[in-house]
Structure 1
Amino acid sequence: MPNLLLGSYDLGELGYAVEEYFVAGTATSYRPAGELTDDGHWNVVAADRAEYVTRAVTVAPVDGARFNGTVVVEWLNVSGGLDAPAVWLMGHRELLREGYAYVGVSAQRVGIEGGASLVADLSLKTVAPERYAPLSHPGDAFGFDIFTQIGTVVRHRGAELLGALRPERILAVGESQSAMFLTTYINAVAPLAPVYDGFFVHSRFGPAAPLDGRSLLDPGTIPSLPCPRFRDDAAAPVLALITETDLLGSALPGYLSARQPGDGPARVWELPGAAHADNYTIQGAFLDNGRTPVEELARAYRPTDTLLGRPLGHFLNFAPQHHYVLHAAIARLHDWVRTGRAAPAAPRIELTEPDAIAVDRDGIARGGVRTPWVEVPLAATSGRNPQTDRMAMLFGSGEPFDAAHLARRYPGGHAQYLTEFTAALDHTISAGFLVGADRREILELADITAQWQFPR
């Protein structure tokens, strides 16, 4: 099996096959042909060329009749010192049940050769040197063209990666650092290489990745980077999902510095009460195969104050909403590309001057995409936390309501809570920010977690 954290379940039992390929070629880097302006209208020209050997991991339905015609190609995230399929981990349930094919691309040098990270050197050549000895990455400046070339193979020579499947649409996705690279890709490279039919930009901060290959984890890089909007003439539909953590930033300037005009063509969903990463990221995603008992999923959401074995003194963000909204984002982008019907627009998270988030009576951010976890809450969850190290800052915080708060909020107890939660859930599904396929599980999860808090 390839070295990629796809989950602790057997994808074969779900009707999917996993394959790994080494892909070789000659890639081009780019340099600006003018100012990198805030509007994202970036003009670039070809610069250097370099040979590469990278890898791509495919997850595809064994039965071609299940394939929905769309391939999701992920720019794997290297912030932790390894190739991480961040969008896959948060969104695999939607991909598996709807018949997508998936390709994870080792687009950056750190994932293969090692380099600056938030955790440790877990690069391919470090953890499996014999298997990955043939790989060679010339640097992140060439990652943009490598990503283009993999997309081109998927589109025009799909049999080389996907066997008998014949792709009709290709979506590019990336989270966090990868989202910042996708921002540069959308603004500068996609106009020259219209390979992808749509872009999902997940948890982007303000800056866009540099074209010259400098590391985003080098503090010296950040001050020099522009914080552009998505260009308003993007080559394909763009949908971005932004949490509170991403909006205000932490070690990096927040997305607030690059906020789109409210009437722009890109769809940007700002998600209140959500953090860049949460309990699902480190617990639920690895066991959630679509058949996992809801009681087991609920345990993964239990508040924890420990991250990677280190006590923090506060709970990580444990609201279930983030990955469920991500399911909807994938579904809406797919529908947009397939039918031309744009994804729904969403209001912004409300701010107080100059850049603090406005909160409601429950201590939860106002505005943004309103899910039942913020409309009918059992806890105050947030994208902020008091930690100072860069990893912990990504996980936000949460604080369950005490008995007195619950009694004031829901005098009718558990039954009132579930009634209000159900109504809010159905409204959010109707608005397009959750998918109906998740409704039953969400309600069961809400019932179990409510039993933990309401007095018996």
Structure 2
Amino acid sequence: MEKRIINRVAGGHRAATAAVLAAALVGTMLSSVAIESASAASPRTSRASSTASSPAATLTAVNVPGTTALGAAAVDLAHYGYTEREYYADGKANRYRGAVAGALQTASVIDGNWPYRTRVLVRTPKPGHFNGTLIVEWTNVTIGVDADFVFAEAHDDLLRQGYAYAVVSAQNVGVNRLKTWSSARYGSLSLAASNVDPQTGGNIDNCGPIACSGDPLSWDVFSQVAAALKANPGRNPLLPGLKVRDVIATGQSQSAFRISTYYNTIQPLANVFDGFVAWDRAGAERTDLAVPEVSVNSEGLSGLAPTFPTSTYTRAWEVAGSTHGSLYAAQYVDAMFNRDKSLIGPNGQPESFTQWVEPSCAVLPPFSTVPNGLVVSAALDSVKKWIEFGKPAPPTILFTRDANGQFVRDANGMIEGGVRLSQFVAPTADQSAFNGTAFPCLVSGYHHFYTPQELEQRYGTSRNYVTQVAQAMFAAARGGYVLPYDAVAATLAATKVAIG
């Protein structure tokens, strides 16, 4: 049906206006959503975390009058029927030998009983909207402050689908900024532990060739917080009215590397998580774990980070035209940083995420409009189905490379292969996944929205533009690399773009 409708538009049939196309797409795509929802009643497969061996952290509600939570959601959660709570997380953690980037073997315990206290933000839907899955994000601290970039990029889908969501401060950089931002609220936090291996004298957590404080407790902190949330115990449960069936770990960029290391070295010991989604970029994953993992990677970072071979339980999806964070994610993080005044610039004054990026840019404004979050959402959905029904995620999909490993591009310089969203193949902006030679703008790209005249020159008519959007999004949805809902939403949005 979809193909006939698109062909009618392309063929110029008068009855097949953009509105008719959109209505038909809604019918066909939403029917597939209904089928997927109905399948939720099917028997579930066994989970890796059914024999979890990690102890649970003790979580207590944060209640410090006159203070607010740093990094609280930068959208109206109530609009989605969600509530956000912040907890202190206390426990005792092990230090591990072998939990280092690039390792493909299970880590070993050096010692234990290192006390810690950190914090976790928990976003929960009403019980009737909960889909049974808790996502736990390892915050990115590259900027010097906690940032939940996965939630920033994909929050609309995640909240619409009914996930519970936890944001964990697992590293010293984030915890130390929390303490300087509000000593009254966060002064008791600590992830302090020696990073010196008593056997070798070297770093336990490999920060590089120079000495560093490291984060040797981060692995158990992440495990124990997730274990507590999954158990959801007591008269005052952490996730009121919810019963968690499965838990997915996620993280972006620096946190994706940590998630990848966790998968390889800690997951076999802790056995807390049922699945993993890493966004830009995970390292190589071991092949002997029956735990699903999908890595979603941008074009912007493709030249700086290699793509590793995948296996029975791992996948890699590369997204054409995408940057290390889209314009959509940047706007979310800007709103969060501007509200909290938590990111301090070189002049000692608060600044936004965009302002942090811009000095390294050759072209302004930064960021591509290609929404990584649509693919990240599909990856989370695929891992959820893999866990619950044993249905493997769609196959690895990479950019086309020649015999020398170089990316293949068309005559217009557009990369070939990968997930090809409508924002890439039928854009409303002149954009690139790259911008200059300096980090972070090198991987942040740029965009210039087309003028009405440029849109008309490129597409001719609204009908032609809608057709191109529909073709791209249907192809991505058929492959499983975007959700049906998002294909419909993109097509409906395209009908509102006036051209010609």
Q: Same fold by TM-score, threshold 0.5 exceeded? A: yes
Deviation at 1:372, TM superposition (A): 2.1
Using a 3 Å threshold, how does the CA distance of structure 1 residues 64 and 407 change in structure 2: closer, same or farther? closer
Name which of 425, 428, 434 aligns with 1:384. Answer: 434
Q: Does 2:244 match 1:167?
A: yes
Q: Distance in 1 between matches of 2:158 and 2:397?
A: 27
Task: Give the match for residue 184 of structure 2.
Answer: 130
The TM-score, its normalising length taken from structure 2, stands at 0.71
Partners of 2:332 and 2:170 in 1: CA distance? 26
Match of 2:274 in 1: 197
Query: Does 2:420 align with 1:370?
Result: yes
Q: Say whether the 8 Å CA contact 1:384–1:393 is kept in structure 2.
A: yes
Measure the CA separation in 2 of the matches of 1:416 and 1:181.
Answer: 44
Structure 1 position 447, deviation (Å): 4.4
Look up the match of 1:222: none
User: Aligned partners of 2:145, 2:478: CA distance in 1, in Å?
Assistant: 38
Give 1:41-440 correspondences, 5 Å limit: 41-49=104-112, 50-61=114-125, 63-113=126-176, 123-138=177-192, 140-159=215-234, 160-204=237-281, 228-249=283-304, 254-256=305-307, 259-261=308-310, 264-283=312-331, 307-308=355-356, 310=358, 312-314=361-363, 315-352=365-402, 354=404, 356-379=406-429, 381-388=431-438, 390-398=439-447, 410=459, 412-440=460-488
1:286, distance to aligned residue in structure 2 (A): 7.0
1:6 pairs, out of 73, 88, 95, with: 73
In structure 1, the gaps of 5 or more residues are: 114-122, 206-227, 289-305
2: CA distance, partners of 1:285 / 1:439: 25
Q: Computing the radius of gyration over CA atoms, which structure comes out larger, 1 or 2?
A: 2
The C-alpha deviation readout for 1:153-174, integer Å capped at 9, x for no partner, is 1223445421332211111111
Counterpart of 1:243, as a letter, is S
What residue identity is the alignment partner of 2:115? E
CA 1:399–1:351 in structure 2 vs 1: closer, same or farther (change >3 Å)?
Answer: farther
Letter in 2 for 1:66: H
CA distance in 2, matches of 1:381, 1:274: 10
**SS of the counterpart of 1:357?**
coil
Task: Using the TM superposition, give the Cα deviation of residue 439 of structure 1 relative to its aligned residue in structure 2, in angstroms.
Answer: 3.2
Equivalents in 2 of 1:351, 1:436: separation in Å? 29
- Structure 2: state its 5+ residue gaps: 1-67, 194-214, 337-353
Q: Which residue identity lines up with residue 289 of structure 2 in the other structure?
A: A
- Could you tell me how far apart the structure 1 residues matched to 2:412 and 2:423 are? 11
- Letter paired with 1:22: Y
Deviations 1:379-426 (A, max 9, x none): 5543322141x232231234667999977864x443212212212222
Q: What residue in structure 2 maps to residue 215 of structure 1? A: none
Aligned pair in 2 of structure 1 residues 112, 366: CA closer, same or farther (>3 Å)? same
State the Cα RMSD in Å. 2.8
Structure with more relative contact order (C-alpha pairs < 8 Å, separation 6 or more)? 2
Amino acid at match of 1:19: R
By how many angstroms is 1:245 displaced?
A: 2.3
Distance 1:414 1:255, change over 3 A: same
Against the structure 1 CA distance between its residues 144 and 284, is the aligned structure 2 distance closer, same or farther, given a 3 Å change threshold?
closer
- The answer to whether the 8 Å contact 1:78/1:111 transfers is yes
Cα distance between partner residues in 2 of 1:377 and 1:125: 43
Instruction: Kindly state the Cα deviation for residue 191 of structure 1 after the two structures are TM-superposed.
Output: 0.8
Is 1:31 the equivalent of 2:82? no
Q: For residues 397 and 84 of structure 2, what CA distance do their matches in structure 1 show? A: 39
Report sequence identity in percent.
30
Match of 1:15 in 2: 81
In structure 1, C-alpha distance between the alignment counterparts of 2:451 and 2:188, rounded to whole Å: 57
Matched pairs, number: 390
CA distance in structure 1 between the partners assigned to 2:379 and 2:271 by the alignment: 22
1-side partners of 2:173 and 2:248: how far apart?
24
Quickly say closer, same or farther: Cα 1:67–1:427, change in 2 above 3 A.
same
Retained in 1: the 8 A contact 2:369–2:423? yes
Q: Is the 8 A contact 1:346 1:368 kept in 2?
A: no
Cα distance in 1 for partners of 2:93, 2:430 equals: 47
